[in-house]
Amino acid sequence: MARPAKFFALLVILHLAAFGALPQTGTPFQNSDGSSPVAYVYVSASNSGGIYAFSAASNGALSAVAGSPFQSDVQGMAVNGKYLFGTDGTYIYSYSVASDGALAPVASINAQQFNGYTCGGPWTLFLDHTGRTLYDLDLYGNSCANNTYQFFDVEKATGKLGYLGVSDPSTVFSTPLSFIGNNLFAYGSSCYHLGAETYGFQRQSDGKLKSLGLHQLMPKAKSGDFYCPYQAAADPTNNLAISVQLYNSETWQPDGPAQLATYTADGSGVLTTKSTYRNMPDTAIQYVEDLSMSPSGKLLAVGGMAMGGTAGLQVFHFNGNKPITHYTGLLTKDEIDQFFWDNNNHLYAISAKSGKLFVFTITPTSVSQAPGSPYTITNAQNIIVLPKP
């Protein structure tokens, strides 16, 4: 569900409260089936709980990587194959990734110093498709009020980060950006004070981002209503999904469940949509928190939280520039905060509230939960997945 900045601030507080200690219960981690790993899965834990590292077998079963959890105190993470990056809200740390998935610290940089204030700092991390440039959403990175995106060059030989610059500030930036297939354009969306905002950037040859200055284009709503967007997930070509919430124009209250819109970028990065309230599927989740596109671009995972309603995780068929269609019901009713795919049809989803890590095997025609799932991780906070070739 799209949310204004006040709700986003409340959500941050709720999440921080949810990241308290949880008892260690549930299924223990299983050994793999002896096959080569198809992915490494990393989960950060709050209260200096470190980074848990797991090897995923071909059937999705997880085994703990030797030495896990690795000492760290990070929140958001990103990984490019050779290095894992994590942030504590001030610094961004670089860790080398060994062939067995083990982590070792190699570098750090104070990202907060570049915004000129001490009231903000890096929150979420993400990379371009090449893995050469690391980006962060810098909360309150300008005048202790506006958010920005910072850009860092990744030194291939050492994992050190070099500061490249920062985007223009805006109160509406609240999500990581998603790059379409050409790695040239990246998009996000939010709903500051119930004002619909879709924003896009063009990636320059040096990795810096330049605003596209997009015209605000929302799906056609039914009479008397308007849409608020939140998040964006791009497919391997030039299409992306955005979750939108219908609001009543008079009461400013939600008027139905969150829906899923389809957008298409042209050669200049301009977005168009044919989505309307009539052809968009409803979600079963009260507040959409995250979207994740499968590597094939055929499946879209949608997860979120509930405040008196329904939380959980759902998967939809993504059909390029055509309307998104229903596929699964709720795969779990646990609050789901973040999730990623590997290249072998596995979806890994974390619930900070329940301290569970779910693993599903999902193709366009079948859905099953992997052996041992869900796993329990004390103080689970964020997740990132490194697919193996």
pLDDT tens by residue, 66-108: 999 999 999 999 999 999 999 999 999 999 999 999 999 999 9
Q: What is the pLDDT of residues 182-211, one digit of tens each?
A: 999 999 999 988 889 999 999 999 999 999
Q: What is the pLDDT of residues 254-294, one digit of tens each?
A: 999 999 999 999 999 999 999 999 999 999 998 999 999 99
Is the Cβ–Cβ distance between 1 and 282 less than 8 Å? no
Domain ranges of the chain: 5-387
On whether the pTM is more than 0.75, the answer is yes
Residues with Cβ within 8 Å of residue 157, at least 6 apart in sequence: none
Give the number of C-alpha atoms closer than 13 A to the C-alpha of residue 383, restricted to the C-beta side.
Answer: 27
Q: Is 42 helix (H, G, I), strand (E, B) or coil?
A: strand
What percentage of the chain has pLDDT greater than the value 90? 85
User: Which superfamily does CATH assign the domain made up of 5-387 to?
Assistant: YVTN repeat-like/Quinoprotein amine dehydrogenase (2.130.10.10)
Q: Which letter, b or e, does each residue of 48-57 get, where b requires 16 or more Cβ atoms within 10 Å of its Cβ?
A: ebbbbbbbbb
